[in-house]
């Protein structure tokens, strides 16, 4: 079993940046973080969940509205996956979830992951 814990959310003004972190723990002995597809999913109030970004093996899937502003990175030593969000817009507000299905692909894109974190809240407003 794998546990995902997000942090780094908060309230910011339009145009500002945030970096979300997702700590991966549990039964990770069988894989390297770089080998696994991880995704970020968000859910705005009253709306359904939508895939934000998924990355694996050099291939990245983007929600069109975040292309050029959001990016993912990983720290294999710390077992952390990051979501860097720049030039934030009010439409980016919502709860952000880290997710994976522990496969060497983004086949779960956009939201069909087996493992989810509890989410971290992002609010963008002036």
Q: What is the pLDDT of residues 18-27, one digit of tens each?
A: 999 999 988 7
Q: What is the pLDDT of residue 29?
A: 63
How far apart CA 7 and CA 23 sit, in angstroms, is: 8
Q: Quick one: average pLDDT of 91-120?
A: 94
Which of 32-36, 96-100, 104-108 is least confident?
A: 32-36
Torsion over CA: 35, 23, 101, 96 (sign): negative
Question: How far is residue 63's CA from residue 80's CA, in Å, rounded to a whole number?
Answer: 22
CB atoms within 10 A of CB 22: 26
Enter the tokens of residue 82.
Answer: 């990051």
Whether the per-residue pLDDT at 30 is higher than 80: the answer is no
- CA nearest neighbour of 114 among 105, 103, 101, 102: 101
Question: Which pLDDT does position 115 carry in this prediction?
Answer: 95
Which residues face 89 on adjacent strands? none
């Amino acid at each position: 079993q794998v546990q995902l814990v997000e942090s780094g959310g908060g309230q910011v003004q339009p145009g500002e940046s945030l970096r979300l972190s997702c700590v991966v723990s549990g039964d990770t002995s069988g894989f390297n973080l770089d080998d696994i597809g991880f995704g970020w999913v968000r859910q705005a109030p009253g709306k359904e969940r939508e895939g934000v970004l998924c990355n694996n093996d050099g291939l990245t899937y983007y929600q069109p509205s975040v292309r050029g502003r959001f990016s993912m990175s990983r720290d294999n030593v710390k077992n952390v996956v990051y979501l860097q969000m720049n030039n934030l817009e009010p439409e980016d507000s919502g709860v952000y979830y880290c997710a994976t299905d522990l496969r060497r692909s983004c086949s779960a894109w956009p939201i069909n992951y087996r493992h989810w974190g509890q989410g971290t809240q992002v609010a963008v407003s002036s």
